[in-house]
Amino acid sequence: MRDELACKEIVLQKTRAIMPDVIQDLKGLIRFPSVAFPGYPKEPVLAMADATVTLLRRYGLPDARLIEVPGGYPVVYGEIPPPPGKPTILMYAHYDVQPAQKEDGWKTDPWEPLEKGRRLYGRGTADDKSGIVMIAASIRLFGGKPPVGIKVVIEGEEETTSHLEHFTAAHPDLFLCDVFIIADNGNLSVGEPALTVSLRGEVSCIINIRTLDHAVHSGMFGGAAPDALIALIKILATLHDIRGDVAVKGLRSATSENGGYPVENYRAGAGVLDGVDLIGTGPLGDRLWFKPSITVIGIDAPSIQKSANILIPGAAAKISMRIAPNADAGHELQILMDHLYAAVPWNVHIDVKEVGHSTGFTCPTGGPAYMTARKALEMVFGNPVLEKGTGGSIPLVNVLHETVPHAEFILWGAEDTADSCVHGTNESVDMGDLERIIAAQGFFLMLLGNL
């Protein structure tokens, strides 16, 4: 124990010493608008991939390189073989980011990093360029000679349709390891360490409604012929009950003891306006992490500007449903689609097409690496560790689990739920939490080397 305390102190000191560099380098990465969505320019994404390789090499991973992924952006890969008898840890992050434009409500240019107090603002500061520097810095703490084997996988398509899942299945050897670290998560609030132990899955579909063969005068025909948009709205309105719980029968729903998520934190993080009710029932953590939730993410219908006094002949909506971590995505999607067909009013024509489905993930928490990660987090942060779920999905995690079934998973990072605004405007990272999670990851590697 005394040895461990001494080790921790050394890691903390070394981390503190490199933090100015780390923040400088993170700022450099923020300046690449590495949006990998279709229709966005490729050059910044490729430049970001190159910059990631350069950073890793500079921080002690000389083997860092790009590997082409068929149909997609290259993956940044590198490895350091383990000392004899020591485990190999594969560290994952992603270098692509969500789109961002000043007009969306950013207070400053999203691609120009800005320090304000303890936080660094800019697209990708948290999700997931903090994960990249976290990985690089934890390698640098050991001067390029970590006490365990290291593999690094930093993908370029986490936020869009990823081609890495097929690639992983085709090259399992690259991913063989004893422990996966998924550095694309974080704490609920700054200074309070958390491990993520479950991820919800996601399914999505597009519903298309047709009622008339062409648009007609709403004065001459309105009153008997059904309007497609009204029919669509009636169907969508059946998805939730009066309290806002999902009303689709038969969906899987899980609960846990750690549903405790402070409501005020949540309201502030989500930007819920004063007086607006939260929807659904049960502990907040359950609603966000373990139960299904349904969102209508787009509607095709005439805009107000193009509206005319007509009965609308066709309308469509895209529906996204988050599903319980332990639910089968294909099965849940079928239940949702059956519900939509059954909710059709007036025998209007309906067509529902799948867009995609991915199953969630439940992290086994009893293994030696998991217990060691808990210890490292608790000792470095000086606070008890919270186990939490996350409402979002990381589809690759399931593929990794299938590829290397014996490996343990550690999901953590510097993205705090309360203030990071991941995917939203004015995204930011707390530089104190970034320092602490780098130290915790370094300490974790050190402890694993001594197991």
Q: Which is nearer to Zn ion, 184 or 227 (CB)?
A: 184
Q: How many residues in the shown chain lie near Zn ion by CB under 5 A?
A: 3
- Per-residue DSSP letter, 52: H
Least distance between Zn ion and beta carbon 228 (Å): 37
- Which residue lies nearer to Zn ion by CB, 211 or 398? 398
DSSP 8-class letter at 126? T
Q: Strands 119-121, 114-116: parallel, antiparallel or unpaired by DSSP?
A: antiparallel
- Give me the least distance between CB of 127 and Zn ion, in Å please: 4
- Is 128 a residue that touches Zn ion (CB under 5 A)? yes
Of 224, 223, 228, the C-alpha closest to 211 is 228
Backbone angles phi and psi of 198, in degrees to 5:
-155, 150
Cβ–Cβ under 8 Å, residues 197 and 365: yes
User: Which of 339, 314, 321 minimizes the C-alpha distance to 238?
Assistant: 339
Closest CB to Zn ion among 64 and 97?
97
**Minimum CB separation from Zn ion for residue 442, in Å?**
22
Choices 164-172, 177-185, 300-308, 325-333 (CB under 5 A): range interacting with Zn ion: 177-185
Give the interface segment with Zn ion, choosing from 123-131, 216-224, 251-259, 357-365 (CB under 5 A). Answer: 123-131
Q: Which is nearer to Zn ion, 126 or 327 (CB)?
A: 126
Return all residues near 103 (Cβ < 8 A) that are at least 6 apart: none
Helix (H, G, I), strand (E, B) or coil at 93: strand
Give least dist CB 158 to Zn ion, A.
5
DSSP string of 177-221, one letter each residue: -SEEEE-S---SSTT--EEEEEE-EEEEEEEEEE--SS-EEHHHH
The reply on whether position 165 binds Zn ion by CB under 5 A is no
We find the least distance from the C-beta atom of residue 131 to Zn ion, in angstroms, to be 7
Minimum CB distance to Zn ion, residue 33 (Å) = 16
Distance CA 164, CA 411 (A): 19
Interface region with Zn ion, contact rule CB under 5 A, candidates 176-184, 222-230, 300-308, 319-327: 176-184
The DSSP bridge partners found for residue 410 are 181
Per CB under 5 A, the segment of 125-133, 198-206, 278-286, 308-316 that binds Zn ion is 125-133
**73 versus 443: smaller Cβ distance to Zn ion:** 73
Nearest to 332 by CA among 248, 393, 251: 251
Task: Tell me how far, at minimum, the Cβ of 391 lies from Zn ion, in Å.
Answer: 13
Q: How far apart are CA 278 and CA 287, in angstroms?
A: 11
Neighbours of 291 (CB within 10 A): 25
Residues 307-366 that bind Zn ion (CB under 5 A): none
Q: Which is nearer to Zn ion, 209 or 397 (CB)?
A: 397
Positions annotated as catalytic residues are: 96, 158
- Which of 184, 286, 430, 435 is in the footprint of Zn ion by CB under 5 A? 184
> Of 25, 79, 96, 127, which lies in the binding site for Zn ion, with binding defined by CB under 5 A?
127
- Cβ-in-10-Å burial (0-12, 13-18, 19+) of 5 comes to exposed
Does the footprint of Zn ion cover residue 430 (CB under 5 A)?
no
Q: Residues 352-391, buried b or exposed e (16+ Cβ, 10 A)?
A: beeeebbbbbebeeebebbebbbbbbebbbeeebbebbbb
Taking contact as CB under 5 A, which single stretch among the options 143-151, 178-186, 239-247, 427-435 is the one that binds Zn ion? 178-186
- The answer to whether 178 and 369 are in contact (CB under 8 A) is yes
If the CB atoms of residues 15 and 390 are measured against Zn ion, the closer one turns out to be: 390
Binding site for Zn ion (CB under 5 A): 127-128, 184
